Chain A
Amino acid sequence: MRVLIVDHSRGIRERLSIRLREAGLEVVAEAGNGAEAIAFVIAAAIDAIVMDVLLPDRHGLDLLPNLREIAPRAVIMILTNAPEYASHCLQHGADIVLDKSRDFDAVAGVLLGRARRA
């Protein structure tokens, strides 16, 4: 499963990347903002996008419909410290919303579960 990580913080991206690889997922790219995320999704075949909703250049809610349009089959998971946006994210095209600080350990499992179902 080819995963794109989108998060403003490099430290988070690295740690998450390590965690997902440990779980056997293939992290193909890391993006620090919305524009990079769009570029990667266009350039490479992505199965899952793990992204924060708070990004430096665009709001995740604005980005979601674009990503959904470009990669209609990708699993889009919002992993954020701003869970108050959860319902809005789901309305805007996200598949799953997880709390970044509390649920990050569950990310790999949830994605793998999705992959198996698919």
Chain B
Amino acid sequence: MDEDADTTTERALRTTAARLERQLETAQQITHIGSFEWDMTTNRVTWSDELYRIYGLVPRSIEVTLDVFLGRVHPDDRGRVQAAVQGALERGGRFAYRERVVRPDGAVRELDTIGEVVMGEGGAPVGLIGTCRDVTEERRREETIRLYAEIVDRVSIGLSLWRCDTVGEPTSLRLVAYNRATEAATGVSLGGLVGRTLPAIFPSMMATELPGLMSEVAAGAAVRELPQYRMGAGTYAVKLFVMPDHAVGLALEDITERARAQRVQEGEQRALEMLASGAPLAGILAAIVALIEEAAPAGTIGSILLVDATGTRVMHGAAPGLPDAYNRAIDGVTIGPKAGSCGTAVYRREPVFVDDIATDPLWDDYRALAEQYGLRSCWSWPILATDGTVLGTFAMYHHVPCSANATVRALIARAAHVAAIAIERRQLDDRLAALSERIEAIREDERTGIAREIHDELGQALTALKMDIAWVLRRIDAGSIVAPKLDEMSRATDEVIGAVRRISAELRPGILDDLGLRAAIEWQADEFTKRTGVACTVRAEVGDLRLERGLATTVFRIFQEALTNVARHASATKVEVSLALERGNLRLEVADDGVGVPAAGPRSGALGLLGMRERARRAGGDCIVTRGVGGGTRVIVTVPLRFPSERVASGS
């Protein structure tokens, strides 16, 4: 039957069509592509099921017209889409646009639309046909990738990826990828070097530990870090991280400036600690020079000069990097308007930057000297006290003509500031020490006066009184009732006389001034034995030293303090004292056989010991308290000898 045959063909066709439609449907679902067809004559729009889904709708759930379609387009894109459709209809042919559509739940999807105008038989457009691809996810991924790329490219940390051809072999590391910051940090232009090996790209790195670590990490070791990695003139914070396929990520952060600032700060800290611990000024200034030389560009030689007491000359302060002969030659240069960089800087009270000694008129008088030692530039900064007086200069020399940039100027200013603190503090210390010495001298003078006065005046008067009592006693009967009273008065007078002698000697023993240190020490040792019962022997290898009064007082008072400590704390049975000359120093040792100080030394806060040490230091010497070899305590005082200029006497 025709109908049957037709039916068979139709059925076969329908089956085929249905299959194709299913395949298309599946393809659309997989690729997120929907299709549409607009029939202008009916203004009916036919959407594929996938297109409904892209719009967030149940397939075929609504009737679609052009207006319905436009209504779903994002308002911002609607005009453009309308214009594109209009243009396509006017021109004919293909068209394409990207639009955003709004789903019923408010979600926005981004679609790539490609279409074609369908022409009627009369050559006029009768509709549009096309596809919409949902590119929302793709765009999101692209955007994410673009952002990551942007981050990698803009980050100031150098990031590069290296792959190890031969596992465990650092020289086989090859550059896979890098960012701009890697080039900036290393100063190496990496364009065209992808695929080249590490030794070829960074030869200077091969001498360091980094390539070995990189190959370890590439072989799967844990993340490694080098917080302060130095390569060439730079300092970097390095991190290595594992990447797939025997690759290693290298993060290089240029911390050269930060590390330099940190070193300067640490150096300053050290200098200030030295200052606080009482180190000599020369050592502190040398430390400041050293830290600046390290922080400044290579080839910088630092120098500190000090203005002398008269304010007319500069004296050597610290310049370990300059030749000794040069330092000697400029020691004592007169300050003036044309006195090299430093002498002029003091004169002007402002920084002087001489970039080329060969041509600068400030160096006319010193040019030959500087050239002799190959010094070609000298920048000098005045070291100012808080009250504005110039204490000295901090200078930087170079063997080539050069000018100072802002960083270096800041560095010099900073060094000058730290030097100012140190110098001013030491001057203050010196003044304080001088004042303290003066007060001590006045105190001793007063004590001497009072000791003499009470010894002579009171002593004599009391003696006279005693003589008078004796006189009366001789003139009364032995049996008189007054006699016992007079005896009692005589004894009481003896006691007072004893007290006067003791107080006088404690204030200041006349023997120290009359007979000198050795006699005074021997006398004090005898007194000590008498008073405490502890044998105190003196072995003196010096004659009757007529020392300068202040120095004799210093040693004698330390000796008294040492004996006081023995009496108070030592539980000693004997004390051995020795007095000797040793390389221009006077050395006094007091050793007892008592309980002794702890092996680690006496308590630092012990005031007596502190006072002894302070006295010795003021005299330019030192006082050490240690544990004796066989127990007990040893006090050793050494002071440089000063003799009074008018009477130098020695010999036993």
CB pair B470–A101 under 8 Å, yes or no, is no
Q: Which of B321-364 contact A (CB under 8 A)?
A: none
Q: With the chains together, A11 CA to B460 CA distance in Å?
A: 8
Q: With the chains together, A81 CA to B463 CA distance in Å?
A: 8
Determine whether A35 belongs to the interface, using a CB cutoff of 8 Å to chain B: no
Q: What is the CB-to-nearest-CB distance from B651 to chain A, in angstroms, rounded to a whole number?
A: 15
Q: Which of A1-26 contact B (CB under 8 A)?
A: 8-9, 11-12, 15-16, 18-19, 22
Determine whether A82 belongs to the interface, using a CB cutoff of 8 Å to chain B: yes
Determine whether A88 belongs to the interface, using a CB cutoff of 8 Å to chain B: yes
CB pair B471–A101 under 8 Å, yes or no, is no
Q: With the chains together, A84 CA to B527 CA distance in Å?
A: 9
Determine whether B523 belongs to the interface, using a CB cutoff of 8 Å to chain A: yes
CB pair B468–A15 under 8 Å, yes or no, is yes
List of B residues within 8 angstroms of A9 by Cβ: 460, 464
Q: What is the CB-to-nearest-CB distance from A82 to chain B, in angstroms, rounded to a whole number?
A: 7
Q: How many residues of B contact A (CB 8 A)?
A: 26
If A59-B514, A81-B497 touch, whether A101 touches B456 (CB-CB below 8 Å) is: no
Determine whether A105 belongs to the interface, using a CB cutoff of 8 Å to chain B: yes
CB pair B514–A101 under 8 Å, yes or no, is no
Determine whether A116 belongs to the interface, using a CB cutoff of 8 Å to chain B: no
CB pair B511–A81 under 8 Å, yes or no, is no
Q: What is the CB-to-nearest-CB distance from B454 to chain A, in angstroms, rounded to a whole number?
A: 11
List of B residues within 8 angstroms of A75 by Cβ: none
If A19-B467, A88-B519, A104-B467 touch, whether A12 touches B514 (CB-CB below 8 Å) is: no
Contact pattern, B 498-515, Cβ under 8 Å of A = 1, otherwise 0? 000100010001110011
List of A residues within 8 angstroms of B456 by Cβ: 8, 54
Q: With the chains together, A106 CA to B515 CA distance in Å?
A: 28
Q: With the chains together, A22 CA to B523 CA distance in Å?
A: 37
Please give me the residue from chain A that is nearest to B457 by CB atom: A9
Determine whether B459 belongs to the interface, using a CB cutoff of 8 Å to chain A: yes
Q: Which of A40-99 contact B (CB under 8 A)?
A: 54, 59, 61, 81-82, 84-85, 88
Q: Known A-B contacts: A81-B497, A101-B493. Give 19 more (CB < 8 A).
A: A8-B456, A9-B464, A11-B461, A12-B463, A15-B464, A15-B467, A16-B467, A22-B474, A81-B455, A81-B463, A82-B455, A84-B511, A85-B511, A85-B514, A101-B462, A101-B494, A101-B497, A104-B466, A104-B470
Chain A to chain B contacts (Cβ below 8 Å), 27 pairs: A9-B464, A11-B460, A11-B461, A12-B464, A15-B464, A15-B467, A15-B468, A18-B471, A19-B467, A22-B474, A59-B514, A61-B515, A81-B455, A81-B459, A81-B463, A81-B497, A84-B511, A85-B511, A85-B514, A85-B515, A88-B515, A88-B519, A101-B463, A101-B466, A104-B466, A104-B467, A104-B470
